[in-house]
């Protein structure tokens, strides 16, 4: 299975910066990774706390689609509990056509309580609504007529007026951190899984294989099938030529990222630790939650996740602003050139070709020298004959 690679931008940008410039920078980054050959780019939805500034992943996808013509674009994720499920399905259907079938519909309950509490929903209510609304969205996107009543909306003979752009429909993915809620829901409906907590903690890492087991059990119980190619993992990476250089580069912004998840975002699954920059960098490395280092270390991390999980379809890098924009762009380039080919079947053929040439190098070099000597003598003979 060809492993896909991409980026997942919640996003994180330190509060106080120009949001217009940040959105433009992110859209240019989508163009950059599209040109580098990345497969996917996901945008989040948040409404508070000042750093995760996209209110609508759908709008970001529409803006990115015209700039990046090849890459697939996902909602990472649409906070389905916040929305009328009919309008959420209708918007993604329109976006499916605007992107010519490149959209991925990522769904979640919403991660920030500072978002949901503004509309009178606590985290428990969001998760319960999420389960109800996923069922409704799946049926609507399958072309069904839906009558349903939830605690926030009522649908009466609801149906969509468009069919999907592709005959296989719109891929739907459910977010998960460490609990079994996401895998259960994905398995019940035969959907994809987005493991945002794949490397965020020891519990998240250890839960990977367990999550897939839950998906398969639920899928079998409901007569559905699930495929590992529809499983996406989200992890943390920043690469440079050397580990020392990578550590130096992330001093630019890693402290602000840690502060956000320790003191601003009420998101305990992001249990980061460290009071000083070096402690923060060591925490990322020592706990295996990310890579601040080289392409070789990144390859080892992806392989580690593959082995632990039993295989998956997509490896997404979480956007974090640890390094400057220029160093972040270079990190993406290193990843595309030296990590992705290793898992996409492109590295080994060139290595094999180089090895074959190395074996015959001395003999063929001698033949080349003999050919040059032969032609030189032939030319000298021609000159002598003319004289």
pLDDT surpassing 70 at residue 370: yes
User: In whole angstroms, what is the distance from residue 199 CA to residue 167 CA?
Assistant: 35
Q: What average pLDDT does range 12-25 have in this prediction?
A: 97
Q: What average pLDDT does range 332-346 have in this prediction?
A: 97
Instruction: Give the pLDDT score at 272.
Output: 73
Instruction: Give the pLDDT score at 364.
Output: 93
Bridge pairing between strands 78-79 and 314-318? unpaired
Instruction: Give the pLDDT score at 19.
Output: 98
Q: Would you say how long the chain is, in residues? A: 387
* Nearest-10 Cα torsion for 103, 175, 4, 28: 60
Q: Look at residue 65 and give its three-state secondary structure.
A: helix
User: In whole angstroms, what is the distance from residue 271 CA to residue 261 CA?
Assistant: 8
Instruction: Give the pLDDT score at 168.
Output: 94
* Nearest-10 Cα torsion for 282, 283, 286, 290: -100
Q: What average pLDDT does range 46-64 have in this prediction?
A: 97
HSE-up of 222 (CA within 13 Å, CB side)? Answer: 18
Q: Look at residue 266 and give its three-state secondary structure.
A: coil
pLDDT surpassing 90 at residue 350: yes
pLDDT surpassing 80 at residue 225: yes
Q: What average pLDDT does range 195-223 have in this prediction?
A: 80
User: In whole angstroms, what is the distance from residue 144 CA to residue 136 CA?
Assistant: 9
Q: What average pLDDT does range 328-341 have in this prediction?
A: 98
Instruction: Give the pLDDT score at 206.
Output: 61
DSSP codes, 102-132: -EEEEEES-S-HHHHGGGT--HHHHHHHHHH
The pLDDT confidence band at residue 211, using thresholds 50, 70 and 90, is: confident
pLDDT, one tens digit per residue, over 159-178 is: 999 999 999 999 999 999 86
3-state SS of 187-241 is HHHCCEEEECCCCCCHHHHHCHHHHHHHHHHHHHHCCCCCCHHHEEEEEEEEECC
In eight-state DSSP terms, residue 82 is: G
In eight-state DSSP terms, residue 143 is: T
Bridge pairing between strands 72-75 and 103-108? parallel
Instruction: Give the pLDDT score at 180.
Output: 80
The pLDDT confidence band at residue 202, using thresholds 50, 70 and 90, is: very low
Tokens of 255: 């402290």
Cα-to-chain-centroid distance, residue 374:
58
pLDDT, one tens digit per residue, over 310-323 is: 999 999 999 999 99
Question: Buried b vs exposed e over 352-380: b needs ≥16 C-beta within 10 Å?
Answer: eeeeeeeeeeeeeeeeeeeeeeeeeeeee
- The mean pLDDT value of the chain amounts to 94
For the chain, the helix, strand and coil percentages under 3-state DSSP, each to the nearest 5: 50, 15, 35
The pLDDT confidence band at residue 203, using thresholds 50, 70 and 90, is: low
pLDDT, one tens digit per residue, over 245-280 is: 999 999 999 999 999 988 888 666 666 777 899 999
Give the contacts of 334 (CB within 8 A, at least 6 positions apart).
239, 240, 241, 295
**Residue among 43, 16, 54, 51 at smallest CA distance from 260:** 51
User: Model's pTM, two decimal places?
Assistant: 0.93
Tokens of 156: 């009466």
Tokens of 187: 């398995």
Backbone angles phi, psi at 79, to 5 degrees: -80, 90
Instruction: Give the pLDDT score at 113.
Output: 92
Instruction: Give the pLDDT score at 353.
Output: 94
């Amino acid at each position: 299975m060809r492993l896909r690679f991409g980026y997942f931008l919640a996003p994180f940008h330190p509060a106080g910066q120009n949001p217009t410039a940040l959105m433009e920078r992110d859209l240019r980054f989508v163009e950059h990774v599209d040109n580098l050959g990345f497969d996917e780019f996901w945008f989040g939805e948040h409404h508070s706390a000042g750093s995760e500034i996209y209110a609508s992943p759908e709008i970001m996808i529409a803006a990115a689609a015209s700039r990046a013509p090849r890459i697939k674009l996902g909602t990472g994720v649409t906070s389905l509990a916040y929305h009328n499920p009919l309008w959420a399905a209708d918007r993604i259907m329109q976006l499916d056509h605007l992107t010519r079938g490149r959209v991925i519909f990522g769904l979640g309950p919403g991660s920030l309580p500072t978002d949901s509490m503004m509309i009178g929903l606590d985290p428990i209510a969001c998760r319960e609504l999420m389960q109800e609304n996923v069922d409704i969205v799946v049926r609507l996107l399958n072309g069904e007529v839906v009558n349903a009543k939830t605690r926030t909306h009522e649908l009466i003979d609801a149906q969509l007026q468009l069919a999907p752009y592709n005959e296989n429909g719109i891929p739907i993915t459910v977010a998960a951190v460490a609990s079994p809620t996401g895998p259960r829901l994905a398995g019940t409906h035969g959907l994809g899984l987005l493991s945002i907590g794949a490397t965020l903690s020891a519990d998240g890492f250890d839960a990977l294989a367990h999550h897939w087991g839950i998906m398969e059990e639920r899928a079998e119980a409901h007569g559905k099938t699930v495929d590992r190619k529809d499983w996406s993992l989200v992890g943390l990476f920043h690469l440079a030529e050397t580990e020392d250089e990578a550590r130096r580069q992330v001093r630019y912004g890693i402290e602000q990222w840690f502060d956000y998840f320790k003191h601003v975002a009420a998101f305990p699954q992001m249990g980061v630790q460290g009071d000083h920059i070096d402690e923060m960098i060591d925490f990322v490395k020592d706990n295996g939650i990310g890579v601040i280092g080289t392409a070789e270390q990144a390859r080892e991390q992806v392989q580690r996740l593959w082995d632990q999980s039993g295989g998956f379809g997509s490896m997404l890098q979480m956007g974090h602003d640890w390094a400057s924009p220029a160093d972040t762009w270079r990190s993406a380039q290193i990843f595309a050139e030296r990590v992705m080919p290793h898992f996409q079947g492109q590295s080994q053929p060139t290595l094999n070709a180089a090895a074959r040439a190395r074996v015959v190098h001395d003999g063929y070099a001698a033949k080349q020298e003999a050919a040059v000597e032969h032609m030189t003598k032939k030319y000298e003979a021609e000159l002598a004959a003319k004289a």
